[in-house]
């Protein structure tokens, strides 16, 4: 089976399973060294075979270049992660060519008005197989009428963390607690800067 994994952003990169026989396609959405290359080099992730150089959120360019690549290479299936423009472009391009799509992190919903929420919903309705991180996500799909080929397998972010800790472990690694926060409505709070040494950056 010829599997294409389409990625483009930092959250996509860290969830790539290095043990999967796959061809990695990078749209180029995240192109800065610290948002891109550093993860492949430091976390021992397989480097992409194709880079489409679609810098930023150039959705139309991504769809055009991915469609041409997929038409030429004809993979058996396409894997996409989460809710990025790269993932939506991958799902749309594959669907146009009748290539089955596997959506990892399916069913996640914030119920907030933002582009990523639109992407999540569209990808889930395009995908042949929906891989959910938890039963809550599977229930969201059920409420939208999606009942076939839905699987609850756990959180790929946790799997990645477990895989990468041994790679990056240092003598003092137990001194750290990792907390990641995302979205302006979660972090735009001046009280964050008044809690001890907590810094938002």
Q: Which domains does the chain have, with CATH numbers?
A: 3-157 (3.40.50.2000)
pLDDT (tens digit per residue) in 73-130: 999 999 999 999 999 999 999 999 999 999 999 999 999 889 999 999 999 999 999 9
The pair of three-digit structure tokens given for residue 125, joined into one six-digit string: 């309705």
User: Helices (DSSP H) in the chain: which residue ranges?
Assistant: 10-13, 37-42, 59-73, 85-96, 115-126, 135-143, 156-168, 184-187
Predicted local confidence at residue 33, as pLDDT: 80
Percent of the chain with pLDDT over 70: 84
d(CA 62, CA 59): 5
User: Catalytic residue numbers?
Assistant: 182
CB atoms within 10 A of CB 43: 16
d(CA 133, CA 141): 12
Mean pLDDT of 135-163: 93
Number of H helices, E strands in the chain: 8, 7
């Amino acid at each position: 089976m010829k599997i294409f994994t389409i990625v483009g952003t930092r959250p996509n990169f860290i969830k790539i399973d290095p043990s999967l026989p796959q061809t990695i396609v990078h749209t180029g959405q995240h192109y800065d060294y610290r948002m891109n290359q550093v993860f492949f080099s430091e976390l021992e992730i397989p480097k992409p075979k194709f880079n489409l150089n679609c810098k930023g959120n150039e959705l139309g360019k991504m769809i055009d270049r991915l469609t041409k690549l997929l038409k030429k290479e004809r993979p058996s299936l396409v894997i996409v992660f989460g809710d990025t423009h790269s993932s939506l472009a991958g799902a749309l391009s594959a669907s146009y060519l009748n290539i089955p799509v596997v959506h990892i992190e399916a069913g996640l919903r914030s119920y907030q008005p933002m582009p990523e929420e639109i992407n999540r919903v569209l990808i889930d309705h395009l995908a042949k197989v929906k891989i959910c991180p938890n039963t809550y996500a599977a229930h969201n799909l059920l409420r939208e009428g999606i009942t076939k080929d839905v699987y609850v397998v756990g959180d790929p972010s946790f799997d990645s963390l477990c895989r990468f800790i041994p790679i990056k472990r240092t003598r003092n690694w137990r001194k750290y607690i990792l907390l990641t926060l995302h979205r302006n409505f979660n972090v735009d709070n001046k009280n964050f800067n008044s809690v001890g040494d907590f810094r938002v950056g």
